[in-house]
Structure 1
Amino acid sequence: MSHQLLARYDSFDKTAFDGDAENRSTAGVSLLQLWHATTGSHWALFNISDADKARAWLDKTAALGHGPTEHHFVETV
């Protein structure tokens, strides 16, 4: 089974997102796909290798003000 994270960003800062790549990598979070919706939001699909580290990364990005607006952990079936 593959564990993934689907995240919606209502406010998206590409520079901050790109600058966070090393932190994501350290947390075992790797970007699989990024979409731009017609509503202006962005959606990202990440592969997760460690759910606890991914949650810690989400908490940190939220505290810094550039985390996703909403997120869901999902897994393939």
Structure 2
Amino acid sequence: MNLLLHQTPASYDDWKRDFDAHTETRMNAGLTLLQLWRDLDGSGVTALFQVNDRKKAQDWLDRETQTGGPLDARFMRTA
């Protein structure tokens, strides 16, 4: 299972520093970063994660939504 996550931070540089600083937190939530994309125009970012534990990942996502602003997130599986 995968998690596709998109958000548009006010500052990409600030967001990236914070994102990198919380790698261990995401790993503890059962998430492995597979790919990270940055919008060509603007500060939007999209991340693709492998999900190892759906409940832990959902709990992490709920916390991120409360503290990190709006996120567009979808749990997906290969068709």
Q: TM-score range by the shorter chain?
A: 0.7 to 0.9
**Offset of residue 64 of structure 1:** 2.2
- Report the AA paired with residue 9 of structure 1: Q
| Structure with the largest fraction of helix | 2
- Report the AA paired with residue 78 of structure 2: T
Give the alignment's TM-score, normalised by structure 2: 0.84
User: Cα deviation per residue 1:1-47 (whole Å; 9 max; x = unaligned)?
Assistant: xx000000111400111111111000110100000112321100000
Give the alignment's TM-score, normalised by structure 1: 0.86
1:17 to 19, 27, 31: 19
Q: Number of aligned pairs?
A: 74
Runs of 4+ that moved beyond 6 A:
none
Gapped regions of structure 1 (runs ≥ 5): none
Gapped regions of structure 2 (runs ≥ 5): none
